[in-house]
Chains A and B, each alone.
Chain A
Amino acid sequence: MKKIRDCANTLRSKNCDPFYTTFDIFFDEEFDYLKLKNSNILNKKDISKLYGILENQITGIYYLDNILAIKITLIKTIPSSEPDCKDVFGSHQHIMLANIEF
Chain B
Amino acid sequence: MKKLGILSFVNHIPLNLDINSILKKAEELDIDYICSQGTGMDFGPYMLGSGTQFNVANFKNNVRPYIKFALKKKIKCIFSVGIAGGDSQLEECVNAINELAFEDNYKLKIAKISGEVSKTKLKSLINKGYKIKPAVKTKFLKNHIGINDIDESEHIVSQMGPEPIIEALNDDIDGIITGRALDIGLYMAPCMFHKFDKGLSAHLGKVLECAGLALTPGDPSEPIYGEISVDSIKVHSIGKKQKATIRSISSHSMYERDNPYMEKNPGGYLDIASAKYTQFNKNTVVATGAKWIEEPYTLKLEGAKIKGYRTISIFGIREPNFIDVLDDFIKQIRNNVKKSDQFKKYKEQKDYFISFDQYGKNGVYSNLEPQLNVKPNEIGLLVDVIASDQNLSENLAYYICMELWIKPYKNRLTTAGNCATRFAPPTISVGPAYHFNIWHLLSIDDPLYLFKKQIMNIPYEKN
| Also in contact, A69 and B254, with CB within 8 A (given A20-B136, A82-B307, A86-B363) | yes
Would you call B260 and A86 a contact (CB within 8 A)? no
Whether, in the assembled complex, B228 has its beta carbon less than 8 Å from a beta carbon of chain A, the answer is: no
Would you call B439 and A17 a contact (CB within 8 A)? yes
Would you call A18 and B247 a contact (CB within 8 A)? no
Residue of A nearest to B357 (CB): A86
Distance of A15 from chain B, by nearest CB (Å): 7
Residues in B whose Cβ lies below 8 Å from that of A19: 136, 138, 140-141, 439
Distance of A37 from chain B, by nearest CB (Å): 14
Distance of A21 from chain B, by nearest CB (Å): 9
Would you call B365 and A16 a contact (CB within 8 A)? no
Would you call A17 and B135 a contact (CB within 8 A)? yes
Would you call B250 and A18 a contact (CB within 8 A)? no
Provide the bound-state CA to CA distance between A15 and B257, in Å.
8
Residue of B nearest to A67 (CB): B250
| Also in contact, A22 and B436, with CB within 8 A (given A52-B368, A92-B364) | no
Whether, in the assembled complex, B170 has its beta carbon less than 8 Å from a beta carbon of chain A, the answer is: no
Distance of B97 from chain A, by nearest CB (Å): 28
Would you call B439 and A67 a contact (CB within 8 A)? no
Would you call B255 and A14 a contact (CB within 8 A)? yes
Q: Mark B255-296, 1 if CB is under 8 A from A, else 0.
A: 111111100000000000000010000000000000000000
Q: Mark B344-386, 1 if CB is under 8 A from A, else 0.
A: 0000000001010100000111111010000000000000101
Would you call A15 and B254 a contact (CB within 8 A)? no
Distance of A32 from chain B, by nearest CB (Å): 15
Q: Number of contacting residues on B, CB 8 A?
A: 44
Provide the bound-state CA to CA distance between A88 and B46, in Å.
11
Would you call A87 and B364 a contact (CB within 8 A)? yes
Provide the bound-state CA to CA distance between A10 and B252, in Å.
12
Whether, in the assembled complex, A71 has its beta carbon less than 8 Å from a beta carbon of chain B, the answer is: yes
User: Which residues of A57-102 have CB atoms within 8 Å of chain B's CB atoms?
Assistant: 59-60, 62, 64, 66-67, 69, 71, 73, 75, 79-84, 86-89, 92, 95-96, 99
Residues in A whose Cβ lies below 8 Å from that of B257: 16, 22
Distance of A5 from chain B, by nearest CB (Å): 12
Residues in B whose Cβ lies below 8 Å from that of A15: 42, 256
> Looking at B43, B246, B257, B366, which has the most chain A CB atoms within 10 Å of its CB?
B257
Q: A83-B307, A86-B365 are in contact. List 12 more A-B contacts (CB 8 A).
A: A19-B136, A52-B368, A64-B254, A67-B246, A69-B251, A69-B254, A75-B137, A79-B140, A81-B44, A84-B384, A86-B366, A89-B42
Residues of A within 8 A of B (CB): 9-10, 14-20, 22, 24, 26, 50-52, 59-60, 62, 64, 66-67, 69, 71, 73, 75, 79-84, 86-89, 92, 95-96, 99
